[in-house]
Amino acid sequence: MFLDRVAWMVAGALVLGGCGGGGGGGASDAESGFTDGETESGTDGSQTNPTDPTDPTDPTDPTGDTDDPVAEQAPSARPRVKFKTAERYAADLSNALSIPADSLCSELDAFDCVSVHKVALGEVDAFGLRLLEPLESTPLTAPIAVDRIGLTACGERAARDHADPQSATSFVEVAGVDAPDASAREAVVARLYRQLLLREARDAERAAVAAMYEDLPEAGRSQTWSQMACFVVATSTEALFY
Amino acid sequence: MTSAGVLALGVLSAASPAQAKPPAPALVCEVYPTMPACAGAVPDCTLCHQSAGVAVRNVFGTQIEDVFWAGDAVVPTDEEFIAGLEDALLSVEDLDADEDGATNVEELLAGSDPADADDLPGEATCEDTDGSEAWQYDVCSPDAAYTLRKVMLDVCGHSPTLEDLEAVTTAEDPGERIHAALDACLNTEFWRGTNGVLWQLAHRKITPLPAIKSGAGEGGVPLADYDDDYNLFVYTQTDSRDARDLLLAQYVVGRTEGDTTEYFEMTEAEQSARGTDVRVFTPVEQRAGMITSRWFFVNNTMFTAVPRTTAAQAYRSYLGFDIAKLEGLVEPPPTEALVDYDNKGVTDETCAACHRTLDPLSYPFSRYNGIGGNGGSGDYDANRLAAFVDSTQPDVDQTPQAGYVLGEPVDDLVQWAEVAANSDEFAAATVMDYWVLLVGERPSATETEAFVALWSDFATVHDYDVEAMLHDLIDTEAYSVP
């Protein structure tokens, strides 16, 4: 059940963070799932209220989408989306989670994951493998590498925050709390969206990620949820592409 | 295979051998100047031919053949070909060679392949859409936050902060913030440091091979130090320097590493005082930037008398033409006969289609040592070819030093470099590198005009200053519109 729920959430995050152009927060409508009346950053550059209580989305739909957002938005004439590549992704994770880049993740407690997986994640290796240009297509191992880095980095942040709640940077409202309530969890989700996706979370997004808590095993649930909530956001399409 | 594919294969199999016509790509651009492939370059010969080096036309080329010299067994002369190609192109405009539903002219102007049924013209452009006032995001207008985010990720290596995004979104002049961010990013280690973005841009030009590197981190058989090449490359691309020094520099650039990587011109005394494993032996007056570095000759010329690989690598790296793909075949005038100095069979008609361009392009490189030789690797030796004379190539020492580049005669490699560095092709190739790096792909049909304007400005308004050019690049619709 737990894994099913996580898979559901990852799928939801991918839908929420679907590729496309970018808006105020770097996300297009298709990415953010905005519907009528909601504008993250309008064409006039204004910011809107992402916590609009009139949000018409169905809370039972984990994607938060009741309408097809693509239908409301003309497609880009020349949509171009680039993968962040290993270094950029690591830098963003490092900044978002306040963890030094070389501490995000290590293989066998000896090798920096980002370096180990750099070719799979779009970097070159001119002086080692004599790979002078990035691979033309994404290798099968790229999603696994992203999951590995994202999961480990999020786990590290969750462990630090729960071990020392007074110094928490991402999971402030739930760190050290055995059974955080929904509002505390939603506050954490809102922070994760700001830290990792550089935008405000929609009501449906906050609710969906917060609700994942109910399906987790009871032992260490608060810390596990922290790690998984972070993982869902940090490995969404929106977090990986620009 | 699709029915169209089967048909195409049948046509190709039946097509008569056809000599590639080097003037053809340029002529195509005269007829269709807005073709994306004509943006600072010319189309590949594969526009009409089955594949590079194969003298058989594809389905589009066969249509031209059918109207141009149908039933005529005699291959037209270059003069007849030049005189008739425009009419031939126009007469097949409304046909659909690959039967994909788009006419030949639609495909040519859209940048898709008229001989490939799987390659179709792209989607509608901004000019074709309306109702943008109802969109949540206007995908036809620059978006400040979107652009800032891309600039920061592309050039700084990380996203901006949420506060940065909010500030640029509400700023009175968001462009000022975006360009300030670009300036800051251009000074980061991510961009210009060791193994940074600029180094990665240089990899294909330098093609490093650690096994034969000398100097720091030397390999098992140290022959030359490509650090010199990376240093010169980054030096010419930064701090408003003239990018033509890629081909014109007669100095050597050093590098110091620390919190920030610094590149500096070495004095000749400093460079010549270096160990023999890394020292540049080439006399100052015979140097021409990246294409006379010790590494360039060791890695490309090696033990070759007439260094065609070296010339082709220079042509590919700095002028954007890959002769292996039949690109940039600009021949000397017909009065300059192709001579097979090294007995390689280059005058065979099949080979000559490329070698009429490649061999005169290579001659100026022939006086520079590859690996070893009098004076050391990479040194200039006016009598170098005498050492290559043997029974298999008794006349190789008759190879002239003078040659041709882009159809212009040159006396030596320094002149070769001057012609190349001041050419439109150099400006276009340099800008294309950065366009592909930042935009993500070559210009589309609708972006051709902006691309041409950008490289034209690079050679004039920007005085070959890469950083000034980048400020204009991020303002293009291709980069700044979601």
CA distance B313 to chain A (A): 15
Residues of A in contact with B441 (CB under 8 A): 80
What was the pLDDT predicted at B279?
Answer: 96
Q: Which of A29, A40, A43 to mutate to test the interface with B (most CBs of B within 10 A)?
A: A43
Q: Is the pLDDT of residue B428 over 70?
A: yes
Q: Is the pLDDT of residue A37 over 80?
A: no
Q: What is the mean pLDDT of residues A200-206?
A: 95
pLDDT digits (tens, 9 = 90+) for B442-459: 998 778 889 999 999 999
Q: Give the whole-angstrom CA distance, residue B183 versus residue B468.
A: 10
Of A92, A127, A133, the CB nearest to B159: A92
CA distance B444 to chain A (A): 9
What was the pLDDT predicted at B93?
Answer: 93
Of B157, B210, B481, the CB nearest to A127: B210
- Window B:207-246, CB contacts with A under 8 Å: 207-210
What was the pLDDT predicted at B73?
Answer: 56
CA-based angle B82:B87:B91, to the nearest 5?
A: 140
Residues of A in contact with B199 (CB under 8 A): 126
Token pair in block for residue A54: 């009139």
- Model confidence, pTM: 0.79
Q: Give the whole-angstrom CA distance, residue A112 versus residue A102.
A: 6
What was the pLDDT predicted at B54?
Answer: 58
| Exposed / middle / buried, residue B138 (Cβ in 10 Å: 0-12, 13-18, 19+) | buried
Q: Give the whole-angstrom CA distance, residue A85 versus residue A117.
A: 10
Residues of B in contact with A70 (CB under 8 A): none
CA-based angle A51:A196:B137, to the nearest 5?
A: 55
Say whether B158 and A76 touch across the interface (CB within 8 A).
Answer: no
- Give yes or no for B324 touching A (CB within 8 A): no
Say whether B143 and A47 touch across the interface (CB within 8 A).
Answer: no
| Cβ–Cβ < 8 Å for B115, B8 | yes
pLDDT digits (tens, 9 = 90+) for A64-113: 444 444 345 667 777 889 999 999 999 999 999 999 998 999 888 889 99
Say whether B165 and A82 touch across the interface (CB within 8 A).
Answer: no
**CA nearest B81: which of B41, B121, B28?**
B28
Q: Which ipTM did the prediction report?
A: 0.79
Say whether B153 and A84 touch across the interface (CB within 8 A).
Answer: yes
**Could you tell me the pLDDT band of residue A38, with boundaries at 50, 70 and 90?**
very low
Say whether A42 and B136 touch across the interface (CB within 8 A).
Answer: yes
Radius of gyration of chain B (CA): 25
pLDDT over 90, % of chain B? 71
Q: Is the pLDDT of residue B316 over 70?
A: yes
What was the pLDDT predicted at B302?
Answer: 97
**CA nearest B66: which of B42, B54, B84, B82?**
B84
Q: What is the mean pLDDT of residues B235-240?
A: 98
pLDDT over 70, % of chain B? 89
Residues of A in contact with B175 (CB under 8 A): none
Residues 6+ away with beta carbon under 8 Å from B274: none
Q: Round the average pLDDT of chain A to a whole number and report it.
A: 77
Q: Which residue of chain A is at minimal alpha-carbon distance from B142?
A: A43
Phi, psi angle pair for B23, to nearest 5°: -70, -15
- Give yes or no for B441 touching A (CB within 8 A): yes
Looking at per-residue pLDDT, the higher value among B108 and B395 belongs to B395
Question: Of the given ranges (A109-113, B72-76, B274-278, B376-380), which has the lowest mean pLDDT?
Answer: B72-76
Q: Give the whole-angstrom CA distance, residue A202 versus residue A193.
A: 9
Q: What is the mean pLDDT of residues B413-435?
A: 98
Radius of gyration of chain A (CA): 18
Of B126, B145, B170, the CB nearest to A26: B145
**Could you tell me the pLDDT band of residue B157, with boundaries at 50, 70 and 90?**
very high
Phi, psi angle pair for A88, to nearest 5°: -65, -40
SS3 track for chain A: CHHHHHHHHHHHHHHHCCCCCCCCCCCCHHHHCCCCCCCCECCCCCECCCCCCCCCCCCCCCCCCCCCHHHHCCCCCCCCCCECHHHHHHHHHHHHHCCCHHHCCEECCCEEHHHHCCCCCCCCECCCCCECCCCCCCCCCHHHHHHHHHHHHHHHHHHHHHHCHHHCCCCCCCCCCCCCCHHHHHHHHHHHHHHHHCCCCCHHHHHHHHHHHHHCCCCCHHHHHHHHHHHHHHCCHHHHEC
Q: Give the whole-angstrom CA distance, residue B23 versus residue B42.
A: 10
**Could you tell me the pLDDT band of residue B326, with boundaries at 50, 70 and 90?**
confident
B465 beta partners: B242
**Could you tell me the pLDDT band of residue A56, with boundaries at 50, 70 and 90?**
very low
What was the pLDDT predicted at A22?
Answer: 29
Token pair in block for residue B40: 């600072």
Q: Which residue of chain A is at minimal alpha-carbon distance from B226?
A: A127
Residues of B in contact with A28 (CB under 8 A): 137, 139, 482
**Residue B53 is which amino acid?**
G
- Give yes or no for B194 touching A (CB within 8 A): no
**Could you tell me the pLDDT band of residue B38, with boundaries at 50, 70 and 90?**
confident
CA distance A171 to chain B (A): 18
pLDDT digits (tens, 9 = 90+) for B117-149: 878 886 555 555 555 555 545 677 888 999 999
CB atoms within 10 A of CB B216: 10
Question: Of the given ranges (A143-157, B19-33, B329-343), which has the lowest mean pLDDT?
Answer: B19-33
Q: How far, CA to CA in Å, does B415 sit from each of B244, B280, B359?
A: 13, 20, 16
pLDDT over 90, % of chain A? 62
